[in-house]
Structure 1
Amino acid sequence: MSPTTVVEGLSSSLDDGVLRITFDRPEARNSITREMTVPLTRILTDAQADERVRCIVFGGAGGVFSAGGDVAGFRRALAEPVAGRQAEFRARLDAAADMVEALLRIDRPVVAALRGPVAGAGLGFVLAADLVIADETAKLIFAHRAIGLTPDGGVTWLLPRVVGWRVAKRLTLTAATVGASEALRLGLVDRIVAGGDFDGEVTAAARALAGAPRDAVARTKRLLDAAMTAAPDAQLGRERDAIVESVATADFEEGVSAFLDKRQPRFPSAR
């Protein structure tokens, strides 16, 4: 992965272990076109394979996170026969599914820097994040119903896991708009930061996560993902295996030594 990558509608840059991925179509409220899904999938796949990447931060340019799918681009589909329209959206959603699966395979910490509105498929990036830092302008808009569609972008899989089954139904079936304070209450965001401090707080959080022991973080994410459907005995076995793997690492040795020496650890995997 090059230090800085720019494709139409997207930019990414890697600095000191933190990969920043920015939706960059402010003139279109950072909506995600079909043409953006393939390069974004590639960026995510490359990030997972790149040991230099220790944390990923998603954000949006121009004070908007992402309006989700490019609804303006949907207009062309209205002129097509129904069968052609369905074929186009099947291909569009298959490409989007590859993108979401690449996101869910990331075993490094993922941060969503949420300024302004996020809607549609853009919600998937917020819901999939391990940490969501928002400012007071943040709004999560569950608007698929408003244009006669069902949720996509992994929203129906992720949302019940974040807020619970009944709240997920309420938000989607009523086409709800959730402001920053309610989002904090529901657990859709983890922290609200005043606008002037926002960039600094996001950077500090990302750097702290980038300094964590990489393999322990990856194993923890895999454990928590598996726990959503695992039986207790199977999950306890996974926990045992993860600990057995972890105690063989230099990160474990450094962590224990630093704890006993009463100093901050410097994990080898984070250097």
Structure 2
Amino acid sequence: MTESVDSPATSPVTVEDGVLYVRVATPRGGNVLNGEAMAAGAAALSDLDESVGAVLLVGAESNFCAGGDVRAFHGAPDRSAFVRQLADTFHGFVRALTSVPVPVVAGVPGWAAGAGMSLVCHADIVIGGRSTRLRPAYPALGFTPDGGLTWALPRIVGTRRARDILLADGVLGSDEAYRLGLLTRLVGDDVIASEAERVARSLAAGPTEVSRATKRLLLASDSATLSDQLDAETDSIAHQASTADGIEGVDAFVEKRRPSFGH
């Protein structure tokens, strides 16, 4: 069953079988960032229904997201004010996405440039194919990055490599993006979308409280000491041992059967 988060049937944000779908790009202008999706997505992520067990970011047509709408920048009477407003909306979505308590999956065919590359950096599981290309693209416009790219990229690929990619506006093919950890799985181009959906649905159908608890630990780890993180892990695993899913998981293992986790 598909449920629209906003009232129009064509909403870029929908919920289906425990997965929150966000269509981050619109076919306009070669698959540019969808501002409507950013606003609606931020609202849905900030008030996430308990029935949602995963988030899936999808693009439009053959590209994941080719970045901002440069023609709209060009036509704005006050470009600075216009770009600021767009960045504020985009960053509202990024803030909500990076604090969401469930796994975030992205299916990335074709180009993920500019804002699209930023979104790739904030997903937990990123599925690409041979067609996948990543590029900052900001220097070519005379812009600096947004979407948290200068924060996330160094944490994934390392500080020195991130400087090279961002300053030189490097294009990363699928093999290099996978080697650097920007893509976490490579599949055939024709199954990127279906594989990303399969993974998201599998996560939503699994022990969702475990996923949420694991995400909480991962989100806290950025600013925690090892000692603090060990204490948090002790508290979390001890709590999970007494939950319905924790009991079912252990019982199923001992009884040599597939666990039946509740939601």
Q: 2:204 aligns with which of 210, 214, 235?
A: 210
Normalised by the length of structure 1, the TM-score is: 0.88
- Which one-letter code corresponds to 2:213 in the other structure? R
Partner of 1:249: 243
In the alignment, structure 1 residue 51 sits paired with structure 2 residue 50: yes
- Which one-letter code corresponds to 1:170 in the other structure? D
Partner of 1:159: 153
8 Å contact from structure 1 (residues 112, 131) kept in 2: yes
- Which one-letter code corresponds to 2:23 in the other structure? T
Normalised by the length of structure 2, the TM-score is: 0.90
What is the distance in 2 between the residues matched to 1:9 and 1:179? 32
CA shift digits 1:186-238 (9 cap, x unpaired): 11101111123334322322222112222221121121222223212111111
In the alignment, structure 1 residue 174 sits paired with structure 2 residue 173: no
- Which one-letter code corresponds to 1:52 in the other structure? S
CA shift digits 1:145-177 (9 cap, x unpaired): 111111101111111121111111111011011
Partner of 1:37: 38
Partner of 2:67: 68
8 Å contact from structure 1 (residues 65, 117) kept in 2: yes
Q: 2:102 aligns with which of 105, 108, 120?
A: 108
Residues 27/34 of structure 1: CA separation in 2 closer, same or farther (3 Å cut): closer
Instruction: For residue 265 of structure 1, report the CA deviation from its aligned partner.
Output: 1.3
Residues 8/169 of structure 1: CA separation in 2 closer, same or farther (3 Å cut): farther
Name stretches of at least 5 consecutive residues in structure 2 with no aligned partner.
Answer: none
8 Å contact from structure 1 (residues 10, 25) kept in 2: no
8 Å contact from structure 1 (residues 10, 24) kept in 2: no
Q: Secondary structure of the residue that 1:132 maps to in structure 2?
A: strand
Partner of 2:190: 196
In the alignment, structure 1 residue 125 sits paired with structure 2 residue 119: yes
8 Å contact from structure 1 (residues 23, 30) kept in 2: no
Residues 99/184 of structure 1: CA separation in 2 closer, same or farther (3 Å cut): same
Instruction: For residue 21 of structure 1, report the CA deviation from its aligned partner.
Output: 1.9
Instruction: For residue 5 of structure 1, report the CA deviation from its aligned partner.
Output: 4.7
In the alignment, structure 1 residue 3 sits paired with structure 2 residue 11: no
Instruction: For residue 144 of structure 1, report the CA deviation from its aligned partner.
Output: 0.8
What is the distance in 2 between the residues matched to 1:56 and 1:141? 23
Name stretches of at least 5 consecutive residues in structure 1 with no aligned partner.
Answer: none
Q: Secondary structure of the residue that 2:143 maps to in structure 1?
A: coil
Q: Secondary structure of the residue that 2:58 maps to in structure 1?
A: strand
Superposed structure 1 runs of 4+ greater than 4 Å apart: 5-10, 33-36
Partner of 2:254: 260
- Which one-letter code corresponds to 2:245 in the other structure? D
Report which stretch shifted further, 2-11 or 230-239.
2-11
8 Å contact from structure 1 (residues 8, 36) kept in 2: no
Q: Secondary structure of the residue that 1:63 maps to in structure 2?
A: coil
RMSD of equivalent CA atoms? 2.2
Identity %: 39
